[in-house]
Homo-oligomer: A and B are copies of this chain.
Amino acid sequence: MPFTELPIEKAFTLLEPGPVTLVTTSEHGRNNIMTITWHMVMDFTPKIAMETGPWNYSFGALMRTKECAVCIPAVDLAEKAVSIGCCSGSDTDKFKKFALTPLPAHSIGAPLIGECVACIECRVLDYIEEHGIFVLTGIRAYTNCERKERRTFHAKGDGTFSVDGAALDMRSLMAGKLPPGV
């Protein structure tokens, strides 16, 4: 098990930068993965919004099981992440096809992805049908301590991506605004 638990109050920091994510579901013993870039932090608990709909094969499993793991790949998985988004779980075992390792989660049936930098176990709190928004709550979070490559990547939506570059530290400027435990 490459994952170490991360305090849940820090889980939002995995998603706030807006990385490409791989979201797993599992139903009737079949694991699936979808590539999601349309997501948003909603609060620090964390609540997470995610935009998807029936055009994604994972949608049905997500609606019925009300569970998923939001996993964050590093840049060495970029081609796999794009390819995962270009095929369907209806006829493809994506873990097998892309040589990814499903690892058991603690509180949900959907698997963690062993090769990712981090994963968040989530439950579906609500689905806002009018707007296609899933509202998730993160219940456990993990980081992969065995990984050297930790740079995440961001989709521009036109087939190009930007990789994490320089880091800026403005903690002192923001000290009064940071939530407890972060």
Contact = CB atoms under 8 A, between A and B. Distances in A.
Interface in A5-55: 10, 12-13, 16-19, 37-43, 47, 49-51
B177 A168 contact: no
A124 to B, nearest CB: 13
A90 interface: no
By size class, the interface of chain A is 35 or more
A121 to B, nearest CB: 19
21 contacts: A16-B155, A17-B156, A17-B161, A40-B40, A40-B51, A41-B157, A42-B51, A42-B131, A42-B132, A43-B51, A47-B131, A79-B170, A86-B174, A131-B133, A158-B178, A159-B171, A159-B175, A160-B167, A162-B165, A163-B166, A165-B165
